[in-house]
Structure 1
Amino acid sequence: MIRTFTSEDTDAVIAIWQSASELAHSFLPADFMIEAERLTREVYLPQAETWVFVRDGAIVGFIGLIDAYIGGLFVDPSHHGEGIGRALVDKAVAEKGSLTIEVFVDNAIGRRFYTAYGFTGDKQVSDPHSGFPLLQLTYEVTA
């Protein structure tokens, strides 16, 4: 089930963000990740339109959008490969249409997922916070 995020979901969502980030973003420095967690909790979650995926009463994934930009998509690593990420992006496409995202070049898990979903793009930019390269991707909805 996918439902709208509420502030009561914050701790569960942050726990998923942490475990998924440890796996997909292991290349990022620890001090950067500490600040990223703070910003996710205090700034990004309150500003984004966020949906959570709930299975058996527990949140196992979430997606945060700013308009049609995916600010974050994270699934509990113990649930990878179960279609949760795809379901969350399907929900975003249904609500917003075409989508964009920036994914770290070194995030092989994320890049593989977005490519399999149908996102395309090869423009690289530098992340203003970490300095690491990002790949800008787009998913175009065709009529």
Structure 2
Amino acid sequence: MIRKYEEQDLEEIINIFIAASRLAHSFVSEEFIQEEVHNIRSLYIHQTRTFVYEHNHKVIGFICLMANEIGALFVAPQWHGCGIGKDLMNYVRSLHKTLEVEVFKENQMARSFYETCGFTELKEHIHTSGHTLLRLRYDMMSLSLKKS
């Protein structure tokens, strides 16, 4: 079930973020991941609308939105391939006709996922870490026109 984030979800979200980041972002340092954990706790969680995917009273995935931008979408690694990310994506697509997200170019897992969800590349730029970021966009209207 997908529901709004509650304060008691924070530690589960942090644990999912760390495990999924180590898997998908093997090219970034552990220091970078820990800095992001700090930012999640002190900034991001307070600046976003966050939704969690809960199964048997346990959070197994989450997505954060800042307006129509996806700030984070992470699923516990043992649940990858089970449709959790797709369900979270479909949930936020029901809220917004267009969505944008930035992903590291090296993160093939995320790039494939977003491509499957209908996102297209807008531009790229260099992150402060020195890695290339891709800005991707989902536009329901563009997809409808392509199918016509």
Q: TM class, shorter-chain normalised?
A: over 0.9
Equivalents in 1 of 2:126, 2:66: separation in Å? 20
Q: Does 2:130 align with 1:131? A: yes
Equivalents in 1 of 2:59, 2:127: separation in Å? 29
Amino acid at match of 1:94: S
Q: How many angstroms does 1:12 deviate by?
A: 0.4
Aligned residue-pair number: 142
Amino acid at match of 1:44: Y
Give the corresponding residue for 2:101: 101
Equivalents in 1 of 2:19, 2:44: separation in Å? 18
Amino acid at match of 2:86: R
SS at match of 2:28: coil
Amino acid at match of 1:83: G
Amino acid at match of 1:42: S
Amino acid at match of 2:102: E
Amino acid at match of 2:96: K
Give the corresponding residue for 2:37: 37
Q: How many angstroms does 1:131 deviate by?
A: 2.3
Equivalents in 2 of 1:131, 1:89: separation in Å? 28
Check conservation: 2:52, 2:63, Cα contact below 8 A.
yes
Name the TM-score, length of structure 2 as normaliser: 0.92
Equivalents in 2 of 1:122, 1:4: separation in Å? 29
Name the TM-score, length of structure 1 as normaliser: 0.95
SS at match of 1:37: helix
Check conservation: 2:74, 2:85, Cα contact below 8 A.
yes
Unaligned runs of 5+ in 1: none
Greater C-alpha radius of gyration = 2
- 4+ residue stretches of structure 1 with deviation over 2 A? none
- For the aligned residue pairs, the C-alpha RMSD in angstroms reads 1.0
